[in-house]
Amino acid sequence: MGTGHAVFFLSERKSLTYYPELSLYDFDYHAEPEGLTVGWLEGDESYTIGDVSVEDWEILSDLGSLMQNKSRGYHYCTICTEMFEHFGESARFESRYRLGNAEIRVVSDAGELYVAPNLVLHYIVDHGYCPPDEFIEAARDEARRRWGA
């Protein structure tokens, strides 16, 4: 009996965890690309710096606690000079959770899916990353649908 081998090409990506901002999310090479990427940062790539409001931060933290598309391993921040574990907290759910092994998936009211690693919470707090406005708006839409927020 033969053994099948999967072949994966990174195309324009240099690593499995970097995507250009708002590019098609194609992590699962067995499926069609879905959604737009947000916050898939890599240490040597530039990114937008700015402020995220407290209200939007709380929404993202709550959404991060859902641990969507959880993986078996962890990705560590490549912007930090040392490897650390990072954690998120949700006041709404009174929970603390590890970052680097799940996604935040939000759908805008217009139906556009955005996919971010939950490590985006660390990028915002510790590296000043500012996600695109359309992602923040979609997170508000998602929270409103889920929790009436």
What total number of domains does the chain contain? Answer: 1
Quick: pLDDT tens for 12-65.
Answer: 445 667 889 999 888 767 778 789 999 999 988 899 999 999 999 999 999 999
pLDDT the model gives residue 33: 75
pLDDT at 3 exceeding the cut of 70: no
pTM: 0.86
Please say if the pLDDT value at position 7 is more than 70. Answer: no
pLDDT value at 4 more than 70: no
Assess if residue 81 is contained within a domain. yes
How many angstroms separate the CA atoms of 92 and 95, rounded?
8
Would you say residue 106 lies in a domain? yes
Residue 10 pLDDT > 70: no
Contacts for 134-139: CB closer than 8 Å, 24+ residues apart: 134/22, 134/108, 135/38, 135/39, 135/106, 136/52, 136/56, 137/108, 138/106, 138/107, 138/108, 138/109, 138/112, 138/114, 139/56, 139/59, 139/60, 139/63, 139/104, 139/106, 139/114
What pLDDT, on the 0 to 100 scale, is given for residue 72?
Answer: 83
12 found inside a domain = no
Amino acid at 65: S
Helix (H, G, I), strand (E, B) or coil at 107: strand
Instruction: Identify the domain containing residue 69 by its residue range.
Output: 36-147
Asked whether residue 19 is domain-assigned, the answer is no
Q: Determine the pLDDT at residue 31.
A: 76
Q: What is the pLDDT of residues 116-149, one digit of tens each?
A: 999 999 999 999 999 999 999 999 999 999 999 6
Domain membership of residue 25 (yes or no) is: no
Structure confidence at residue 40 (pLDDT): 94
Q: Is the residue at 136 inside a domain?
A: yes
Residue 6 maps to a domain: no
pLDDT of residue 32: 80
Give strand pairing partners of 36.
24, 114
- Tell me the mean pLDDT in the region 86-100: 96
Domain membership flag for residue 17: no
- Please compute the mean of the pLDDT values over residues 70-81 and round it to a whole number: 88
